[in-house]
Each structure stands twice: as structure tokens, then as C-alpha cells.
Structure 1
């Protein structure tokens, strides 16, 4: 066998056929990867709960007793960033379309042999890595945009409260962050929280004053 094109990874094999799980595990370990296995979707979910952060890919049988592979895949897609590829006894267009719709990064038809499995497996790993990088980039962008909005709002609060210009307000926030060895965004969050507290207190005090006026 050719050496793996990717570094050593942890793979979860989910199939109700114990012999097939053993064979797939041997193939992947021989190719330089580590494996875990589960005979049902319920067992797979327990493994994912314990080791999910370490699992690079789930190799998943479509048809299993109880929760099917497709149902497990949909659950993974909704609640986990772990990519998955399918094993299937069917090579018809409907099965491959169902796998694609579920979000699979690969699809291998049984009976499985190493010559067909490994190229598809390595391609699925690469595709899964691409998706994870994209998800991280989107998460970072969302976080950056949120931090940018919070900083802009905090600058506006300082401008209104101290009657200063935008540049002075931002520099004051940055100086405070440097003094405390923190990020500007963290200082901005504190300013927003303080403003919310002051606004809430203003409403409470105003209500008390109005109440006294009525007595």
C-alpha cells in the first residue's frame, strides 16, 4: 500500500458488521491512521461525546438497525463539525444523491477493498479539512465583525458622554486596553455593559421620582 498523503488521523468507523469494522480498521491503521469503532449509531454518539474533538472523520454505514447512517449523519451535520463519509451496499443514483444531500464528504460502495477505499478516504479527509478551515474562517470573520460593531458603539458612547471626537475616544479605549494588557474589544464590551446598567438605573430612578411626584 502507498503511504498516507495526510498525517496520522483518528477515524471513527460506524457499521453493524463487526468483521467489516475490523477489516476497515486494519486497512486504515496500516495506512498510518488510528481508529475507533461503533456497531450502532447510539454507540457512535457516545464515542463522539467522549472523543469528538480528536476525530478527523467518521466512516459511516448508510443502512444500520435503529438509527440509520443517514439519520446519524444529519445529526452530526447539525450538532458537530466532524465530517463524515458513507459506506453503502447500493451504487444507485438515489443513494449517492441522499449521501450528498446529507453533507457527506465521500462515498464508497461495498464490498470495500483497500485499493478503492484509501484514495476515497484521503480525498474525504482533505475535503473535510477544507470545510473545517472554511468554518473557522467564517467563525473568525463573524467574531471580528461583532467585535468591530461593539467597538464602534463603544466609541460612540464615549463621544456622547465626554463630548470628544472619534479619534480621541478610540485612542482612550486603546490606552486603557494597553494599560490593562487587554484587547480593545474587551474594553468595548465593558463600556457597553456599563452603559446598559446606567440606562437601566436611569429608568428605575426616573420611575421612583415620578412615584414621589404622585404622592
Structure 2
């Protein structure tokens, strides 16, 4: 398995080298960018697993680069010498997975990068699941119906319901459409049985009411 590729973008040569050494020591492959323009070009060319992006850089600042990375679906964390609340909010709104303030120690940077990589993987999985779900729902009425049934009965989100059904199909080595059709038919059969039982119970109750003798008042004595 290849090591994750980290793009480190910082216009300060000392900070860039420190960040690079810390990432390499942690087992990551590293690309270096010395300004915003270079960072954007390298990111779009190599698609790194994560970019560590200084927000204050020449040619293009970090926020401009962040917009390009977000449009390309490339995850990044922000790096700055400033910890003002406005900067943090701007970085978060731009899609940053974390905000780090320089100077940084390796024992701070590496856990933040590892956490960001895990979150980026989760986001990629979510996006892939949503795309697969949208395609499957548009092609199969049964899949759509079963997703709705699982959401109602199990309290799942649509993605959770689809993932559960897909996992079940994989465990049986079958197509998800076939598993959904089987589940849907079973649910329809159960619904039909329940409806029939309920109707018979209501009819029985109505017949009992019809056959019940009328209530009589107390006997009257006529003298």
C-alpha cells in the first residue's frame, strides 16, 4: 500500500522544510510548493491525499487556492501564523478540515494530519455512496422502496440504508437489485398477510355485534 501523498504549501522556506521533514518522518510522501500558484498547479496535477495550505502566500493566497481545491474535491487543512476568529471562520467556510497556527511541533502536526486523512476518507466514501445510491435509485424501484422501508423501520439515513443493503448483497455475492427485489417481495407478502389478518378480525367483530341480542329493560308488571 502506497504512503499517502501530502502537498505542503508555504512561502517561508524554513517552515516549508520543517513541515516536510515532519511529514516524511511520519511516513508520508511529500510534495513542496513555495507559493499559491505552484500549490494550485501541483494539487490539480498530482491530486494529493491532503494539502497543508498556508493561507498567506504570494501570487495566490491560500483562500484562492482553497477554492480551487474545494472545486476539485481535494481535501486540505489550513496553516497560518494568525489565530483570529475571522480567519478560522473563513478557512472553515472554505472547506478546511482543520486550522493550525504556527509555529507547530511535529507532535501537534502529525495527529492533525492523520485525523484529516481519516475524515477525508470518510467524505470520499460518503460521496461515492451517494453517487452509487442516486444511480441505483434511478434504475430500480425496488431499491428505492427498500431504502425507504429500512429508513422507517431501522431509523437509518438514506445512505446508511443503502450501505446496509449493499453490504448484504456483497455478503451473499449477489446483485443489490436482486437482494432488494427479494426483500421488497417479502415485505409486500408480510404486508398482505397483516392486512388480511386485520380485515378478518374486523369482520369477525362486526358479525359479533350483529348477532348480539338486543338489550332488554327490566320487566314491567301490569296490574
Taking structure 1 as the reference length, the TM-score comes to: 0.62
User: C-alpha distance in 1, partners of 2:45/2:130?
Assistant: 26
Q: 1:10: Cα distance to partner?
A: 0.5
Equivalences, count: 143
Structure 2, gaps ≥5 residues long = 142-174, 176-223
Deviation string for 1:40-62 (max 9, x for gaps)? 2221222123211xx11010001
1:83 corresponds to which residue?
75
Determine the structure 1 residue equivalent to 2:53: 60
Task: Structure 1 unaligned segments of length 5 or more: list them.
Answer: 1-6, 150-182, 184-215
Provide the alpha-carbon RMSD of the alignment.
Answer: 2.2
Q: Of the candidates 126, 137, 141, which is equivalent to residue 134 of structure 1?
A: 126
Structure 2 counterparts to residues 15-34 of structure 1, below 5 A: 15-34=10-29
What's the offset of the Cα at 1:129?
A: 1.2
Partner of 2:9: 14
1:118 paired residue number: 110
Alignment of 1:47 with 2:42, yes or no, is yes
Alignment of 1:154-193 (within 5 A): none
Residues 113-166 of structure 1, C-alpha deviation per residue, up to 9 Å, x if partnerless?
A: 1121111111111111111111111111122233348xxxxxxxxxxxxxxxxx
Structure 1: 4+ residue segments shifted above 3 A: 146-149
SS at match of 2:49: strand
Q: How far is the alpha carbon of 1:37 from its aligned partner?
A: 0.9
Report the TM-score when normalising by structure 2: 0.59
Aligned to 2:64: 71
| Aligned counterparts of 1:48 and 1:9: Cα–Cα separation in 2 | 14
| Whole-Å separation in 1 of the counterparts to 2:31 and 2:130 | 30
Shift of 1:8: 2.5
Q: What is the CA–CA distance in structure 1 between the aligned matches of 2:70 and 2:95, rounded to whole Å?
A: 7
